[in-house]
Amino acid sequence: MTAIFITATGTDVGKTYVAASLIRHLRQMGRLVDAIKPVVSGFDPAHLALSDPGVLLHALGLPVTLPEVDRISPWRFAAPLSPDIAAEREGRSIDVDSVVTFCRTAIDQRRDILLIEGIGGVMVPLDAERTILDVMMALHVPLILVAGSYLGTISHTLTALDALYQRELKVLAVIVSETPGSSVPLDDTVASIGRFAAPVIALPRQSGSGKPGEPASPLDRIFGP
C-alpha cells in the first residue's frame, strides 16, 4: 500500500485520533510516513497544537508551525461547520478538482506511505454539488472507515459502508474508536458491526503507544507487527 484514505461515519468520531495512531504505529514499524488533511473546518491558528493538522504533525515528529500546517492542510476554515458552509461564511469556495490534484501530487511525492485524512463523514459536502466521497472516488486508493462506539453508530457505520461498497471502493478495515463516556461497550459495538463487515478493529483510547512490554497494537491486524 502506498496511500490510504481515512474517512469516517461522521464528525467527531475519532478520525484524527486514529490517523495519529496509525502514523505512530507505522513509524514504529520503520516505515516512512507522510500525512495530509487537505480540508479542515473549525481551525483556530491560536491553538495549533490542538488542531487536527497539529495532531498529525506531532505524530509525524514534525514542528507544529503555520508553514507546516499550510503544507498539509491548504484549505482551512474557522467555522466548525461542514466545509461548504464554512467556506461560504468566509466568502470562499472549495475547488474540488484542486483538492484531488493536491492529493495526487502528495501520493506521487510520498517517501513511502501516505495517509490522507478526510473531513467529516463519508458524504460531507465540499461545494454545491460534490462531497468528500467524490474525492475518494477520484483517488480510488484503499480506505479505512472510522466509527465511534456511541449508541447509533451501528446504523451509521453500515450506511457508510454501503455507500463505499456501491462505488466499488476498497475498505481495508473498519476501526471503531472508543467514544469517551459511551453507554455502549466497545466490544459489543465491534461484534455487531463485525457481523456485516471484516475486519472490524476496536481501538481503545489508550492503545497503541508501542512501549516495550505492552500488548500488541490492534492496528497490527492491518499492517502486521
- Which residues are part of the catalytic machinery? 37
Residue 51, strand partner residues? none
- If phi over 0 gives left and psi between -120 and 50 gives alpha, with beta otherwise, what is residue 42? left
- If phi over 0 gives left and psi between -120 and 50 gives alpha, with beta otherwise, what is residue 12? left
DSSP string, 78-127: SSSS-HHHHHHHTT----HHHHHHHHHHHHHH-SSEEEEE--SSTT-BSS
189 — phi, psi (to 5°)?
-65, -45
Residue 75, strand partner residues? 39
Residue 50, strand partner residues? none
Q: Whose grid coordinates read 513511502? A: 112
C-alpha cell at 120: 467529516
Quick check: 174 and 197 in contact, CB under 8 A? yes
